[in-house]
Structure 1
Amino acid sequence: MIARCGYVAKGIVYLIVGGLASLAAADLGGRNAGTKEAITQLATQPFGGVMLALLGLGLLAYALWRLIQVLLDTEHLGHGIRGLVTRAGFLISGGIYAGLALYCANLLRNAATGNTSTTDRTAELMSHPGGVLLVLAIGIGFAGVGIRQIWRAVKRSYLKNWHMIEMSDAQQHLAEAATRWGLSARGVVFLIIGGFLVVAAVQTNPSQAQGLGGALNVLARQPFGPWLLGVVALGLMAYAIYCFVNARFRDVTP
Structure 2
Amino acid sequence: MSDISTQVPNPPPAWIENFAKIGLTSKGIVYCLVGIIAFMAAFELQGKTTESAGKAGILKLIQDLPAGNILLAIVALGLLCYTLWRFIQAIKDTERNGSDAKGIGKRLRYLFSGLVYGAFAFLATQMVLGNGGSNGDSRQTLVTKLLQQPFGQWLVGIVAVATMLIGCYQIYYGYTEKYKKKVSGGGLKHEIEEQMIRAGKIGYVARGVVWLVIGYLFLQAALQSNPQQAGGNTAAFQFLENSSYGSFILGAVAIGLVCYGVFMFMRARFQPIHTS
Q: Note whether the superposition's TM-score is higher than 0.5.
A: yes
Find the counterpart in structure 2 of residue 21 from structure 1: 38
Find the counterpart in structure 1 of residue 77 from structure 2: 57
Residue 31 (1) aligns with residue 49 (2) = yes
Find the counterpart in structure 2 of residue 98 from structure 1: 118
Aligned equivalents of 1:132, 1:92: Cα separation in 2: 22
Aligned equivalents of 1:82, 1:204: Cα separation in 2: 34
- Counterpart of 2:178 (choices 145, 157, 172) is 157
What residue identity is the alignment partner of 1:207? Q
Partner-residue secondary structure (3-state), 2:142 = helix
Partner-residue secondary structure (3-state), 1:78 = coil
Partner-residue secondary structure (3-state), 2:168 = helix
> Unaligned stretches of 5+ in structure 2?
1-17
Question: Within 5 A, what are the aligned runs for 1:4-19?
Answer: 4-19=21-36
Aligned equivalents of 1:190, 1:181: Cα separation in 2: 14
> Unaligned stretches of 5+ in structure 1?
none
Find the counterpart in structure 2 of residue 186 from structure 1: 207
Alpha-carbon deviation of 1:173?
Answer: 2.1
Aligned equivalents of 1:113, 1:159: Cα separation in 2: 36
- Relative to structure 1, the CA distance from residue 12 to residue 134 in structure 2 (aligned partners, 3 Å threshold; closer, same or farther) is farther
Find the counterpart in structure 1 of residue 240 from structure 2: 219
Find the counterpart in structure 2 of residue 251 from structure 1: 272
Find the counterpart in structure 2 of residue 2 from structure 1: 19
- Counterpart of 1:233 (choices 254, 257, 263) is 254
Residue 138 (1) aligns with residue 159 (2) = yes
- Decide which structure has the larger Cα Rg and report it: 2
Alpha-carbon deviation of 1:132?
Answer: 4.1
Residue 69 (1) aligns with residue 86 (2) = no
What is the TM-score with the length of structure 1 in the denominator?
Answer: 0.93
What residue identity is the alignment partner of 1:245? M
Aligned equivalents of 1:86, 1:110: Cα separation in 2: 36
Deviation digits for residues 1-27 of structure 1 (CA, Å, limit 9, x no counterpart): 101100111111111111111111222
Residue 46 (1) aligns with residue 66 (2) = yes
- Relative to structure 1, the CA distance from residue 3 to residue 213 in structure 2 (aligned partners, 3 Å threshold; closer, same or farther) is same
Deviation digits for residues 209-238 of structure 1 (CA, Å, limit 9, x no counterpart): 121111111111111111111100111111
8 Å contact kept, 1:14–1:35: no
Aligned equivalents of 1:153, 1:244: Cα separation in 2: 17
Aligned equivalents of 1:31, 1:248: Cα separation in 2: 32
Find the counterpart in structure 1 of residue 14 from structure 2: none
What residue identity is the alignment partner of 2:239? V
What residue identity is the alignment partner of 1:49? N
- Relative to structure 1, the CA distance from residue 5 to residue 133 in structure 2 (aligned partners, 3 Å threshold; closer, same or farther) is farther
What is the TM-score with the length of structure 2 in the denominator?
Answer: 0.86
- Relative to structure 1, the CA distance from residue 63 to residue 129 in structure 2 (aligned partners, 3 Å threshold; closer, same or farther) is farther
Alpha-carbon deviation of 1:83?
Answer: 2.4
8 Å contact kept, 1:149–1:186: yes
Deviation digits for residues 73-105 of structure 1 (CA, Å, limit 9, x no counterpart): 233322222322232222121111111111111
CA-based RMSD of the aligned residues comes to 1.7
Query: How many pairs align?
Result: 254
8 Å contact kept, 2:27–2:264: yes
8 Å contact kept, 1:184–1:235: yes
Alpha-carbon deviation of 1:165?
Answer: 4.3
